[in-house]
Amino acid sequence: MPETKGLGLYNVVVIGAGTAGLVTAAGTAGLGGRVALVERNKMGGDCLNYGCVPSKALIASARVIHRIRHASRWGLNEQEPQFEFERVFESMRSRRAEIAPHDSVERFEALGVDVFAGEARFVSPHEIVVDSQKLRAKNFVIAAGTRAGIPPIEGIRGVPFLTNETIFDELRKKPDSMIVLGGGPIGCELSQAMSRLGVKITIIEVLEQILPKEDKDVADWTETLLEAEGIRVLRSSQAIRVSVCDGKVQFELVRRPHGAYESEPRQIVADSLLVSAGRVPNVEKLNLEAAGVNFSPRGVEVNAYLQTSQPHIYAAGDIVGPFQFTHTADAQARVVVRNILMPFQLLRQKMDYSAVPWCTYTDPEIARVGLNETEAKLQNISYDLISLQINELDRSVVEREELGFVKVLTAKGTDKILGVTIVAAHAGDLVHEFVLAMKHRIGISQLATTIHAYPTFAELGRKVSDYYNKRRLTPFVKRVFNWLYQHSRVASPPGSACVQEGQNIGSEESQRGQEEV
Ligand X SMILES: Cc1cc2nc3c(=O)[nH]c(=O)nc-3n(C[C@H](O)[C@H](O)[C@H](O)COP(=O)(O)OP(=O)(O)OC[C@H]3O[C@@H](n4cnc5c(N)ncnc54)[C@H](O)[C@@H]3O)c2cc1C
Query: Min. distance of Cβ 115 from ligand X in angstroms?
Result: 11
Tell me the CB-side half-sphere exposure of residue 321, using CA atoms within 13 A.
13
User: In this structure, how many other beta carbons lie within 10 angstroms of the beta carbon of residue 352?
Assistant: 11
d(CA 387, CA 468): 10
* Element of type H or E holding 434: helix 427-439
Q: Which stretch binds ligand X (CB under 6 A): 51-59, 72-80, 94-102, 267-275?
A: 51-59
Q: Which stretch binds ligand X (CB under 6 A): 14-22, 349-357, 412-420, 493-501?
A: 14-22
Q: Which stretch binds ligand X (CB under 6 A): 19-27, 91-99, 483-491, 495-503?
A: 19-27
From candidates 11, 41, 389, 511, binder to ligand X by CB under 6 A: 41
The answer to whether 143 contacts ligand X (rule: CB under 6 A) is yes
Three state DSSP letters for 443-460? CHHHHHHCCCCCCCCCHH
d(CA 408, CA 83): 40
Q: Which parts of 77-106 interact with ligand X (CB under 6 A)?
A: none
Q: Which parts of 179-198 interact with ligand X (CB under 6 A)?
A: 186
Angle, to 10 degrees, between the axis of helix 52-69 and the axis of helix 185-196? Answer: 40
The answer to whether 38 contacts ligand X (rule: CB under 6 A) is yes
Show the site string, 203-242: x = touches ligand X by CB under 6 A, - = not.
----------------------------------------
The answer to whether 370 contacts ligand X (rule: CB under 6 A) is no
Residue 233 and residue 183 in contact, taking contact as beta carbons nearer than 8 Å: yes
The answer to whether 442 contacts ligand X (rule: CB under 6 A) is no
Residue 210 or 329: which CB sits closer to ligand X?
329
Q: Which stretch binds ligand X (CB under 6 A): 10-18, 175-183, 300-308, 404-412?
A: 10-18
Query: Min. distance of Cβ 450 from ligand X in angstroms?
Result: 27
d(CA 326, CA 347): 26
Peptide bond into 125 cis (omega under 30): no
The answer to whether 145 contacts ligand X (rule: CB under 6 A) is yes
The answer to whether 144 contacts ligand X (rule: CB under 6 A) is yes
The answer to whether 402 contacts ligand X (rule: CB under 6 A) is no
- Pairing mode, if any, of strands 133-142 and 237-245? unpaired
**Interacting residue ranges for ligand X, rule: CB under 6 A:** 15-21, 38-41, 45-47, 50-52, 55-56, 119-120, 143-146, 164, 186, 282, 285-286, 317-319, 324-327, 329, 361
